[in-house]
Amino acid sequence: MQPTIKVLVVEDDTDLQALYKLKLEHDGFQVYVANNGVEGLSGAQEWQPDIILLDLMMPVMSGSEMLAHLRSEKWGSDIRVIVLTNISKDEAPPALRFLHVDRYVVKAHQTPAQITQLIREVLETNAP
């Protein structure tokens, strides 16, 4: 039996957060949620997820700030990350391109089922 994949959803929109959590759990993932970058960073350290779905525009600490902190830590340097935001790639913070993101996705263009498929693709592509 395959181990359960742990997904951390860092999203400040509680409706989207609940939607992703429901769909991902239905598809067999273990899901943790965080409302902002500070909670996301703490959750990533505590739960050591296999992959993070990361919004960029959030209160307290943005997704790009969270990712910079995550990548600066040995324990966070290899965690897979899918940026899931409504900011176009052209409007994204320039530093983001140096922080190793597996995918950059505009959430308005993806269904929850497509997000599930993306997670599977990223983890399969980056499997040891």
In-domain check, residue 83: yes
Q: What is the rounded (10 degree) CA torsion for 8, 58, 46, 17? A: -30
* Three-state SS at 33: strand
Q: How far apart are the first and last CA of the chain?
A: 18
In-domain check, residue 38: yes
Tokens 């307290």 correspond to what residue? 60
In-domain check, residue 81: yes
| Phi and psi torsions of 23, nearest 5° | -65, -45
In-domain check, residue 1: no
Position 128 scores a pLDDT of 35
In-domain check, residue 104: yes
Domain count along the chain: 1
Whether 98 and 3 have beta carbons less than 8 Å apart is answered as no
In-domain check, residue 16: yes
Q: Which domain holds residue 69?
A: 6-125
In-domain check, residue 21: yes
**pLDDT in 10s for each residue of the chain, 128 residues:** 456 899 999 999 999 999 999 999 998 899 999 999 999 999 999 999 999 999 988 888 888 899 989 988 888 888 999 998 876 666 666 665 656 787 888 888 888 888 999 999 998 854 43
Return the CATH number at 45: 3.40.50.2300
